[in-house]
Amino acid sequence: MTRTALSLRSALALALGGCSPAGAPDAEDPADLLSETASPEDCLLLVWSSQEKPRAQFDRTHDFVDGGAISCATGTSASQFDAAIAALRDAARSGNKRRMLAEIGLPLLYIDAAGNRREIEDRAEVEAVFDEIFDPAMIALLQRLDLSQMSVAKDQGGFFTLGAVWLVVDRDGGRPRLVTVNRQTLDEALATARDRAERNQGNRIPFD
């Protein structure tokens, strides 16, 4: 669970706990009931309280993606994810390594094609192995990122292509950073897509 998720859960738990009648017997921790009792609007209000200039209309319109409400799952808003995704996508398209490095959070978890995990805590080290992590296939994925294709996992963050890349925030209402690059997952997703395409081609009905 991220620090942001803990903070958001604690704030909502306090709000929910304050509604309990005095002297009532102890029940489940309100934080444990958060997913059932907190509405997306509650989550958005708490997220906005940590932002100087929230984009309320955009956030309400784009809060729901695969996996649930962005605000409740990640502790930040859709507009913050959208800005981070756009910056990462544009950096990948530009070919500018410095712009790419600016969008990476530390530590960066890199999982290679064989499934070997490496947690990189130093930006200079990320730069040293940049071409290994961000090879043409990974760059191509980043160039296509779009908020509408994102999924979220409760208290973990936002991800794309089955988890090939993960974006996570480190404070309530903050801007996400790229914190996980999983080449093994990307390869599996690409192989699945190729198999599906080949099956579809094989099932085509020829026109006379």
Angle, vertex CA 195, rays to CA 193 and CA 201, nearest 5: 100
Please name the residues in contact with 120: beta carbons below 8 A apart, sequence gap of 6 or more: 106, 107, 108, 109, 110, 126, 129
For the chain, how far is it from start to end, CA to CA, in angstroms? Answer: 58
Whether the model clears a pTM of 0.85, i.e. scores above it, the answer is no
The tens place of each residue's pLDDT in the chain, 208 residues long, gives 454 544 555 444 444 344 333 333 344 443 343 445 679 999 999 999 999 999 999 999 999 999 999 999 999 999 999 999 999 999 999 999 999 999 999 999 999 999 999 999 999 999 999 999 999 999 999 999 999 999 999 999 999 999 999 999 999 999 999 999 999 999 999 998 888 888 877 655 444 4
Three-state SS at 178: strand
Measure the CA–CA gap between 112 and 108, rounded to whole angstroms: 13
